[in-house]
Amino acid sequence: MSNKMSGEQGERKFKVVGTRPIRHDGLDKVTGRANYGADLALPGMIHGVILRSPHAHARIKKIDLSKALAMPGVKAAVTGADFPEIGSGGMPAGESHIDPKDLQANILARGKVLYHGHAVAAIAAATIEQAREACKMIAVDYEVLEPVMSLERALAKDAPILHEGRKAVGVPPLPEGDTNIMMRLANAKGDVDAGFKSADVVVEGWYEASMAHQGYIEPHATVVTTRENGQADVWCSTQGQFAVKSMLSVTLQIDPNLIRVTPSEIGGGFGGKTTIYLEPIALLLSRKSGRPVKLVMTREEVFRATGPTSGTRIWAKLGAKKDGTFVAADTRMEFEAGGFAGSPMGAATMTVFASYNFPSFRLEGLDIVLNKPKVAAYRAPGAPNAAYAIESAIDELAQKLGMDPIELRLKNAVKEGDTASYGPKFDRIGFIECLNAAKNHPHYKAPLGKNQGRGVGAGFWFNVGLQSSATVSINDDGSAVVRTGNPDIGGSRASMAITAAEELGIPVERVRPLVGDTDSVGYCDLTGGSRVTYATGMAVIEASKLVIEHLRARAATIWGCEVDAVEWRDGQAVGTNGASNNKPLSLADIAKQMGHTGGPIIASASVNPPAAGPGFGVHICDIEVDPETGRSTVVRYTVVQDAGKAVHPSYVEGQLQGGAAQGIGWALWEEYLFDKNGKMENPGFLDYRMPVASDLPMLDTVVIEVPNPLHPYGVRGVGETPIVPPLATVGNALSRAIGVRMHRLPMTPPRVLDAIETKKG
Amino acid sequence: MAKIQVQTTINGETADFLCDAQQTLLSALRDQLGLTGTKEGCSTGDCGSCSITLDGQLVPSCLVLAAEAQGREIGTVEGVADGTGLHPIQQKFLEHAALQCGICTPGLIVATRALLLKNPNPTEAEARYYLAGNLCRCTGYDKIIRAVLDAAASMRGESA
């Protein structure tokens, strides 16, 4: 693990930023004290259970709750009919937009069920067993329809239509009449056909990836209490308490002022906890019963009805000159949206060509509904699928050209001043630095063993800014509290405390970071888009600077001088210009006298950066394939990524390692398997095979620091980029190990054996 | 149906509770006894979040019936620290940043304690295979394995 630094911001001498303190919430998390979604119990609390559709595609003709309501212990029941009628339209949700009508219909089906496991009704009873028994007594009359289980079928002329009467939107030409295509996007630059004609080498192919789940270990959970005056207190595991509040308000048409959302500790999300499933149901059940209601999903429910990310079919074609210069690129990207519109196809169209300079390109993206769970955000949504296609094609191109794959990328990589394929001009970025660091890494030069192959792949993610606020207050002992509104999903309390400590000039242990509920902290957009350390960190810097203004004024009061004669230096007020004979006052000295110099010291600040600095990464993977069984083992893996400035390097490395591990799982093992009726066949961790400790080697990291000009410290978001390169990196390694280009994820042993057998003929 | 009375020892202290015949030990610990440090990730014995020890043996408490705890000794994450300071395993998890979201951490700490009691000097591969029943989705296991091996060294008195 090494750090490299360059640039002006890099020359700032940091005292706390870049150190590795023990995270403030760590103690509670290693002792079992930390409270996650399912850990809350309230007096009088009752338990909810959801009835889910046994069909992947059906019309609901009638729901009869009468027998269920008569069962012992039952306090309340709800169906989709309990939701108010609302119109379509977009509401912002972090990086994406959500259609509130679809959101509502996904939470509890209305009229139709669109996937196996789609919620149909819910019961609350005194015990969970009673609720389960009562659920069995709900009578639902379904008209079963043909399930649409593949992109081919969804696009067929005679395909059953999931949303009758709904028109495709986007860039023409759009399909006319009823369609399962919900959106079409397209973009182009230059003369693509002429570009391909001028190419010396052209590669093209389809690259398919299966639907995969975020795989957070904590199932969704909530406890909702409602009051006689209409107020609702919501406790839940979420990536954004303010997002939950606005989604609840819209789906239930409740005055947001009545809703308070307290985020529990969150046991993983990866984008999957940026939306809501349980909270409105629990709220309605609580209103009907007058009791606090707890709803916790089982793992099976998590798989069947939350997440996942899109399965995709992407055709990619690339053309290059003999010297490796790219001349043209073309792609068609088909994304499974699940039962409702809203795959991350849009982000895929923007990222697919973003890492390289293509003189000409053309792209088309389709958002396609079919009878699988409605997809949710998953870490750099859409980008890994797009990168899988394009980075695989680049590898094939390198093989055809007889070029080193890193050299080929270096020849075409974007740098500062280049215009990104999606529009804007790149500011300072670190892609070239990452490629060079990978090229010079000992891993890249190490010899390979028998049946081994080495792959490289690159990845890009925008990162986002958005709205954040922070409050910094000073205690009378000179310690500080920093309050923000972003659930801490991977160490962000530590980065907020480090940031405040850096500004105030006090030890990080003297800062307590706090994540508040929607009533106790200022608005923050959700924890997503790799935005917290970047944007919320900027709010902490601004609030800390305001606190320092107060501290200078208090020192001036104590010294009886002008505030201009007081400087804040290394955690102390230092007198200048006529006040320099005063002994410097530490933060603790000033804090002790707060009550006599003007009262408590506290400041809040908010930011709304319209952009963030993009992140680039380059991964290297060595894989060994057993030619007898097709089993592949990752034997060595290195992640190189530009972090701008690593605030807490251990948690930056952790993001790089975690993203790589998820990507390796997606590439080799993880996939949704459906039977012909559309029922997921592997809704558990035994059969949905995520990486376990014995599947992986150590994951080496190289943190590059090319400062982001948009952030005072140079920070870039780091959370999402690391899942972009692995699909292609692992695919390229495996393809080189067996001498056959792989086109389908996951690359399970049967698929690898098939490829080996086909090659043998 | 009548409740079953269970007398057991949890983290060295006697504990009595009432349970239903079909209730899991995980549910009794969390819902009856308020020991929510033991987490539920799957309820099918596949994720390891609910790892506890039963008479010293590492088990997923979601696959043990509460009534089976009669007369047995249970060890949970709440009993790993000795009340005045952290156990070296907990300390090393913190020092190595071996947790991100932290939901798998209690199970991993209980499992690591069981590993190191059996094998005080595990190789990296031995640690990886012993902990293969404890899923972590955030870390990629690198820092966890480093923390485990460092904790083992520290407990052997070879602290770096």
In this prediction, residues A513-531 reach a mean pLDDT of: 97
Least CA distance to B129: which residue of chain A? A694
Q: Three-class SS string for A427-489?
A: CCCCHHHHHHHHHCCHHHHCCCCCCEEEEEEEEEECCCCCCEEEEEEECCCCCEEEEECCCCC
- Do residues A578 and A565 touch, judged by C-beta distance below 8 A? yes
CA distances from A541 to A199, A555, B104 (A): 50, 21, 32
Q: Tell me which residues of chain B have a pLDDT lower than 70.
A: 1, 159-160
User: Which residue in A417, A402, A40, A438 sits closest to A223, CA to CA?
Assistant: A40
Least CA distance to A657: which residue of chain B? B140
Question: Quick check: A22 and B94 CB within 8 A?
Answer: yes
Residues 39-58 of A with CB under 8 A from B: 39, 41
- Do residues A540 and A496 touch, judged by C-beta distance below 8 A? yes
Which residue from B94, B132, B142 is facing A30, i.e. has the nearest CB? B94
Q: Does A491 touch chain B (CB under 8 A)?
A: yes
Helix, coil or strand: residue A79 = strand
What's the pLDDT at A761? 80
Q: Is the pLDDT of residue A133 over 70?
A: yes
Best mutation site among B63, B101, B105, B150 for testing chain A: the one with the most A CBs within 10 Å?
Answer: B101
In this prediction, residues A475-498 reach a mean pLDDT of: 97
Which residue from B38, B77, B140 is facing A658, i.e. has the nearest CB? B140
Chain B residues with CB-CB distance to A296 below 8 A: 40
Each residue's pLDDT tens digit, A280-330: 999 999 999 999 999 999 999 999 999 999 999 999 999 999 999 999 999
Alpha-carbon Rg for chain A in angstroms:
27
pLDDT band, residue A90 (cuts 50/70/90): low
Q: Is the pLDDT of residue A1 over 80?
A: no
Sheet of strand A326-338, all strands in order from the earlier edge strand to the far edge: A169-170, A181-189, A361-369, A326-338, A312-320, A201-209
In this prediction, residues A39-44 reach a mean pLDDT of: 98
Q: Is the pLDDT of residue A3 over 50?
A: no
Which residue from A27, A217, A266 is facing B104, i.e. has the nearest CB? A217
Name the CA dihedral angle for A31, A32, A36, A39, rounded to a multiple of 10 degrees.
-150
Q: Is the pLDDT of residue A5 over 50?
A: no
CA distances from A80 to A59, A84, A331, A417, A431 (A): 13, 9, 40, 52, 49
Average pLDDT over chain A reads: 96
Please, which residues have CB within 8 angstroms of residue A137's CB and are 6 or more apart in sequence?
A: A67, A68, A70, A71
In this prediction, residues A491-504 reach a mean pLDDT of: 98
Residue A49: strand pairing partners: A123
Q: CA–CA separation, A542 vs A561, rounded Å?
A: 25
pLDDT band, residue A6 (cuts 50/70/90): very low
Chain A residues with CB-CB distance to B40 below 8 A: 38, 219, 296
pLDDT band, residue A577 (cuts 50/70/90): confident
What's the pLDDT at A7? 45
pLDDT band, residue A94 (cuts 50/70/90): low
How many CB atoms sit inside 10 A of residue A385's CB?
32
Question: Quick check: B100 and A33 CB within 8 A?
Answer: no
Which residue from A38, A490, A654 is facing B40, i.e. has the nearest CB? A38
What's the pLDDT at A87? 79
What's the pLDDT at A327? 98
- Do residues A746 and A670 touch, judged by C-beta distance below 8 A? yes
Helix, coil or strand: residue A196 = helix
> How far apart are the CA of B22 and the nearest CA of chain A, in angstroms?
10
pLDDT band, residue A91 (cuts 50/70/90): low
What's the pLDDT at A579? 87
Distance of CA A719 to the CA centre of its chain: 8
pLDDT band, residue A132 (cuts 50/70/90): very high
What's the pLDDT at A4? 43
Best mutation site among A23, A29, A42, A489 for testing chain B: the one with the most B CBs within 10 Å?
Answer: A29
Residues 317-336 of A with CB under 8 A from B: none
Residues 219-248 of A with CB under 8 A from B: 219
- Do residues A363 and A670 touch, judged by C-beta distance below 8 A? no
User: Does ipTM exceed 0.85?
Assistant: yes
Residues 677-706 of A with CB under 8 A from B: 684-686, 690-696, 698-699
pLDDT band, residue A97 (cuts 50/70/90): low
- DSSP conformational letter for A709: T
In this prediction, residues A726-748 reach a mean pLDDT of: 98
